[in-house]
Copies of this chain bind each other. A is one copy, B any other.
Amino acid sequence: MAVHLMSLARRLRRALGTDAVVTEEAALRTYECDGLTHYRVTPGLVVLPESAEEVRFVVRECADAGVPFVARGAGTGLSGGALPVAEGVLIVTSRMRRILDVDLANQRAIVEPGVVNLAISQAVRPSGYFYAPDPSSQVVCTIGGNVAENSGGAHCLKYGFTAHHVTGLEVCTPDGELMWIGAGKAAETAGYDLVGVFVGAEGTLGIATKVAVRLLRAPQAVVTVLAAFRTTEEAGAAVSAIIAAGLTPAAAEIMDALAIEAAEKAVGCGYPQGAGAVLLVECDGPAVEVVAQVDDVETLCRRTGAFALRRAADDAERADLWRGRKSAFAAVGRISPNYIVQDGVIPRTRLAEVLHDIGELGRDAGIRVANVFHAGDGNLHPLVLYDARVPGAALAAEEVSGAILDLCVAHGGSITGEHGVGVDKATKLPRMFSADDLDTMQLVRCAFDPRHLANPGKVFPTPRLCGEQPRHREAEAVPAVPTGTELW
């Protein structure tokens, strides 16, 4: 370990206690990656603070020593956002898991960043409330990580992303200051809304040390419908019809034939025989409304080609319908030794077109691609299957995977919906933004972190040199709309 890290470790041990600082090589290695396991870096040292004040202390020590730092929650991220820096400090929030306050009358809670996503709903469920964003890792992932990545989940079609449910934050800025941003219990605040830019900044603007979240009333009724179609195009058309009819399901998820095959092998979910695609639609709300909605959903599914429909009204039946979907990612491991999960977004109306093109890309390359997606949001999760033991297979899968993101961008979409840019897609950001646009975005980063100590190497492909003044750039001939989007 470098001498300056050793002396930093000593200072941190003195302040936080011996067991709060990890320096032993084998122990450090357990933190070398997050959910995106093909990027691995052993951190210089690991610190486990227990309070906001301790985070502030650690960050200030890092700032003083010019040492980069990375925050980590449960390490379930899928873009390498929590990948450590070799000569840096990894700040792990797992000891900060107190729910500090629950205020049901104002429908707010304040929690520490290490609180597990599901733990909030568990704490307030007996009172009839829940916390809406539900990433599929919600039994282990933490709110701090959700804030960094602006996590979504199956139900963000109706409820929105983490950004829509965080009303205020205490953050530790990269120079080691604690600062409250956003509103307290009131609905609005004054001045700049820094919550919006902090949520989803992937730890590059600082570390959330307290998170104020909105609590929602649990819906009176929840009903799930499974519709089986011959093709994903039909299933996509059903989603378009449902939304065009003014219905707002809580979730609308599609799995294609290959994803179904994998799920059947893994958990025997018993989806209808011969399904080329299944669509799961969940409606929630007042009982009287939900029944009417589900009737409409079923009618529209039949009209767009569903050949089998199943309706689940109680929790056990619902869990049964969801089992295949929830197991899909893991299940793909049953039919392929390796796979890459992508996270592209497209306008919902382009679903059929893009799925067709993804199919062609796969066929041309001789690579199987399973599709699982949040259809209502146009958020695709293509799983590109390969066998790492076959020479060249990993590279070919990477290429198909990259081509899928190009497709999404070409259709006016995004290279990430809910997994973040992280280290994985930083080099792909220029497919969406010009160098000038990325430079302007980084003005904010430079404002908060001119020395790039907070999670360096993430999000942006090229760190902006800070300290430059905004300058006049050459007038561009093209209109300033997202790359690949026609001016609509």
Contacts and interface: CB of A to CB of B under 8 A. Distances in A.
A200 interface: yes
A463 interface: no
A377 B188 contact: yes
A292 to B, nearest CB: 5
A199 interface: yes
B220 A348 contact: no
A170 interface: yes
Contact of A186 (B178, B413, B436, B448): B413
A347 B184 contact: yes
Interface stretch (A118-126, A161-169, A358-366): A161-169
B487 A100 contact: yes
A191 B472 contact: no
Contact of A188 (B418, B450, B485): B418
Interface in A43-78: 52, 56, 60, 63
A183 B414 contact: yes
B416 A188 contact: yes
A443 B466 CA distance: 13
Contacts of A108: 488
Q: Which of A185, A441, A450 has the most CB of B within 10 A?
A: A185
A417 B188 contact: yes
A139 interface: no
A186 B347 contact: yes
Interface stretch (A270-278, A303-311, A388-396, A425-433): A425-433
A285 interface: yes
Given A194-B197, A444-B194, A188 B429 contact: no
Contacts of A240: 105
A473 B172 CA distance: 13
Interface residues of A, number: 110
A184 B481 contact: yes
A472 B173 CA distance: 10
Contacts of A433: 191
A110 to B, nearest CB: 6
A440 interface: yes
Contacts of A476: 178
Interface string A90-114: 0000000000110111111010000
A162 B180 CA distance: 23
A448 B193 CA distance: 15
Given A347-B185, A447-B444, A469-B450, A191 B421 contact: yes
Contact of A177 (B194, B436, B446): B436
A63 B196 contact: no
Contacts of A475: 56
Q: Determine how many copies of this chain the complex contains.
A: 2
Given A195-B196, A196-B197, A446-B447, A184 B417 contact: no
Interface string A448-488: 10100000000110000000011111011001111001011
Given A194-B444, A485-B185, A349 B105 contact: yes
A12 interface: no
Contacts of A416: 188, 190
A43 to B, nearest CB: 24
A358 B188 CA distance: 20
A289 interface: yes
Interface in A121-173: 128, 150, 152, 161, 163-164, 168, 170, 173
A168 B414 CA distance: 13
A2 interface: no
Given A190-B414, A190-B432, A191-B432, 10 more contacts: A63-B472, A101-B487, A101-B488, A106-B347, A110-B488, A187-B345, A188-B345, A192-B201, A194-B444, A195-B196
The 3 A-B pairs of least Cβ separation, nearest first, read A196-B196, A217-B246, A289-B289
Interface of A: 52, 56, 60, 63, 100-101, 103-108, 110, 128, 150, 152, 161, 163-164, 168, 170, 173-180, 183-197, 199-201, 217-220, 240, 243-244, 246, 285-286, 288-289, 292-293, 345-349, 377-379, 408, 412-418, 421, 425, 429, 432-433, 436-438, 440-441, 443-448, 450, 459-460, 469-473, 475-476, 479-482, 485, 487-488
18 contacts: A105-B348, A106-B347, A164-B164, A174-B470, A176-B472, A177-B472, A177-B473, A179-B436, A186-B408, A187-B377, A190-B432, A192-B441, A193-B196, A286-B292, A288-B292, A446-B447, A448-B470, A450-B470
